[in-house]
Amino acid sequence: MADRSGPQGNETLLFLTDEHLRKGIEAMFFAYRGFTADPDRILGEKGYGRAHHRAIHFIKRTPGTTVNNLLSILGVTKQSLNRVLRTLIDDGLVQSEVGTRDKRERHLNLTETGLELERELSNAQRDRMRTAFRQTGPEAVAGFRQVLEAMMDSDMRRHYARLKDAEV
Amino acid sequence: MADRSGPQGNETLLFLTDEHLRKGIEAMFFAYRGFTADPDRILGEKGYGRAHHRAIHFIKRTPGTTVNNLLSILGVTKQSLNRVLRTLIDDGLVQSEVGTRDKRERHLNLTETGLELERELSNAQRDRMRTAFRQTGPEAVAGFRQVLEAMMDSDMRRHYARLKDAEV
DNA sequence: GATTTTATGTCAGCCTTGTTGACATTCCAA
DNA sequence: TTGGAATGTCAACAAGGCTGACATAAAATC
């Protein structure tokens, strides 16, 4: 929100040049590849894809979540999500229970098998994140999260913040 | 590389808890969606996809690059890249010239039309990046780039660094 | 109580973008 | 001259997005 560079000091704005912005763009591109590389390998071996990982992650993250809630977090269509959920339910990784208060809803949870895969995936992804965090230190990590948060769409920031408040 | 937290001070390691790592993971997920949202909208209107954007970006970035070089940066198969390049060449956005030194190679450049689209895409993406950078300040941006760079696969870091050295 | 809205599931079909495999061409280099 | 490298192209396939249409059950509203 606030422009933290003074109005007179031009040298304080040097981090906003097009060259620096392009470097930031390419950093996002290359880093995201690394970010997904390890889970992708594991998923590939088991016949799943990134979409399954995302579903598994957020079900683990918000146990008992409904399909609609998952849709708004993932930002895909219900048909797309349904295809993924169907295979996870059929394979016994996800359990779908009719809601008690509202019987139209389905509450989603990971089964023991689902939790196992989730652990395998998030261990791999966390390992890389941990290494990167350790290499760069807490101040860099704080900046990393600030910039990423500022880059989100506002509705996604809501999801992110809600999760943050709930657990951290 | 070096663990910057002391071996005895536990409180300095608090940024490495699983909860913080998970927050970093979700920050990457939600931020990447924002990162690609604006170009995706523009591309969708013109019948292109993210793959076209990536090709356009790195051709602009490294004019006269060969197909093979582009392949190693983008990390896809030549068939996949070829399909994208073909549409861009047919639509007059990319020019492919037989190499002079080695006539097997094709040197890729953007045409004036291609440069126009590239400007439109990167302006949109830079706007978001600039806003995020300005909101968070130079120290946060430095941390952002450090962490992202540490998260890359080493071969991708090579590409990233090479581009960095060449132009920044 | 009847009607409308909501949550979900499902079927069919389309698109982009990734994959593998096979094969042709061109041309540098040993 | 022959082998291999760089590129192009064709075919087939899969994942995972999308839209549209329709069914069902249940909640909400009139």
pLDDT in the model for residue B139: 96
When pLDDT is cut at 50, 70 and 90, the band that residue A130 belongs to is: very high
Of A33, A125, A142, the CB nearest to B153: A33
- In terms of DSSP H, where are the helices of B62-153? 67-74, 78-90, 112-151
The more confident residue out of A136 and B97 is A136
pLDDT in the model for residue B10: 54
pLDDT in the model for residue B120: 96
In chain A, residues with a C-beta closer than 8 Å to the C-beta of B163 are 26
Express each pLDDT in A7-56 by its tens digit.
444 557 888 899 999 999 999 999 999 999 999 999 999 999 999 999 99
Residue A37, number of CB atoms within 10 A of its CB: 17
pLDDT in the model for residue A99: 84
Of B133, B148, B167, the CB nearest to A31: B148
Residue whose pair of structure tokens reads 């889970």 in the numeric block: A39
The more confident residue out of B162 and A67 is A67
Q: What is the DSSP letter of A41?
A: H
Which residues of chain B are under the pLDDT cut of 70? Answer: 1-11, 163-168
Of chain B, the end-to-end C-alpha distance in Å amounts to 24
Question: Residue B11's closest chain A neighbor by CA?
Answer: A138
- What is the CATH code for B24-167? 1.10.10.10
Residue nearest to nucleotide D26 (CA to C1'): A104
Domain boundaries, chain B: 24-167
Of B35, B126, B137, the CB nearest to A18: B126
In angstroms, the CA B34 to CA B40 distance is: 10
Tell me the HSE value of B127 on the side-chain side, using a 13 A CA sphere. 9
In angstroms, the CA B135 to CA A3 distance is: 6
Phi-psi region of B106 (alpha: psi -120 to 50; beta: other; left: phi over 0): beta
Inter-chain CB proximity B23 and A164 less than 8 Å? yes
In angstroms, the CA B149 to CA A128 distance is: 12
When pLDDT is cut at 50, 70 and 90, the band that residue A2 belongs to is: very low
In angstroms, what separates the C-alpha of A34 from chain B's closest C-alpha? 5
Strand D atom within 7 Å of A104 CB: yes
Q: What is the average pLDDT value for chain A, to the nearest integer?
A: 89
Residue whose pair of structure tokens reads 């090709």 in the numeric block: B55
CA-closest candidate to residue A57, choices B32, B29, B148: B29
Work out the percent of chain A whose per-residue pLDDT is above 70.
90
| Contact status, residue A74 vs residue A58, Cβ threshold 8 Å | yes
pLDDT in the model for residue A13: 85
In angstroms, the CA B56 to CA A108 distance is: 41
CATH class of A35-135: mainly alpha
Residue nearest to nucleotide D24 (CA to C1'): A104
Is residue A73's pLDDT more than 60? yes
Work out the percent of chain A whose per-residue pLDDT is above 90.
79
When pLDDT is cut at 50, 70 and 90, the band that residue A144 belongs to is: very high
User: Could you tell me the distance in Å between the CA of residue A84 and the C1' of nucleotide D21?
Assistant: 21
pLDDT in the model for residue B61: 92
